């Protein structure tokens, strides 16, 4: 499966949600049943990287995708050195709600590309809608290790799933906007 150049907004007429498989049932189910509905409801925005060729259904396979949504944090969830510079009301952040790569494309650098594209997208959004950080709830230890490799740090107030954050200042520096 060969991926195209550009992430585009999920379109169920063009993109084959049913064939998406990243080996994580929760993420497969999200793509197959919820991603499109959540976009229609205005509670999450999903971008996909389509395959170059259409499959037998006439649609393009989804090689990778990510979903972002607005969220907020309590300042006390952040390390003290950061918290003391922030207001006492909820701190706006971006939630990287989902990120996954099709099994046929895993291990070829696409996870890294998808994360970079998600951060680049959020950096553009942040230029018109400020947010302190991007946060991610890790589905499992493997996902946690993946994000820690790219500089994400653990939040103090994590409950259940490990929640990590990366300040938008750091993200913007990656794209020379800092
Ligand atoms: C996690 C996932 C996105 C990684 O995608 P991928 O295309 O296989 O990853 P890449 O090939 O881009 O790897 C990029 C780097 O991360 C490393 N890496 C990949 N998966 C990793 C993991 N689970 N833990 C730690 N490091 C990992 C790679 O070794 C590589 O390192 P390098 O740059 O030093 O060579 C993919 O395996 C996936 O979709 N998994 C199922 C869904 C999931 O768990 N998503 C996280 C949502 S919370």
pTM above 0.85, yes or no: yes
- Pocket test of ligand 1: the residue of 69, 105, 146, 152 to mutate, having most ligand atoms within 8 Å of its CB, is 146
Check pocket membership of 149 for ligand 1, CB cut-off 6 A.
yes
- Rounded distance between C-alpha atoms, residue 42 and residue 78, angstroms: 28
pLDDT in tens, 52-105: 999 999 999 999 999 999 999 999 999 999 999 999 999 999 999 999 999 999
Q: Which residues contact 84 (CB under 8 A, 6 or more apart)?
A: none
17 and 48 in contact (C-beta within 8 Å)? no
Q: Which residues contact 26 (CB under 8 A, 6 or more apart)?
A: 139
Q: Which helix (H) or strand (E) holds 8?
A: strand 8-9
- Rounded distance between C-alpha atoms, residue 50 and residue 62, angstroms: 5
Residues constituting the chain: 178
Domains of the chain, start order: 8-174 (3.40.630.30)
136 and 122 in contact (C-beta within 8 Å)? no
pLDDT in tens, 121-140: 999 999 999 999 999 999 99
- Rounded distance between C-alpha atoms, residue 99 and residue 96, angstroms: 7
């Amino acid at each position: 499966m060969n991926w195209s150049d550009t992430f585009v907004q999920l379109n169920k007429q063009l993109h084959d949600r049913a064939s998406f498989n990243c080996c994580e049932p929760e993420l497969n189910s999200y793509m197959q049943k919820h991603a499109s509905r959540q976009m229609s409801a205005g509670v999450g925005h999903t971008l996909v990287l389509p395959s170059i060729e259409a499959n037998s259904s006439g649609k393009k396979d989804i090689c990778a995708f990510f979903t972002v949504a607005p969220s907020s944090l309590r300042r006390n969830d952040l390390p003290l050195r950061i918290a003391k510079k922030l207001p006492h009301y909820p701190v706006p952040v971006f939630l990287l709600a989902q990120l996954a790569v099709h099994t046929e494309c895993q291990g070829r650098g696409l996870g890294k590309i998808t994360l970079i594209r998600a951060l680049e997208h959020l950096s553009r959004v942040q230029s018109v809608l400020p947010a302190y950080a991007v946060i991610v709830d890790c589905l499992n230890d493997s996902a946690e290790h993946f994000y820690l490799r790219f500089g994400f740090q653990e939040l103090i107030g994590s409950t259940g799933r490990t929640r990590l954050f990366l300040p938008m200042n750091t993200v913007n520096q990656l794209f020379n906007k800092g």
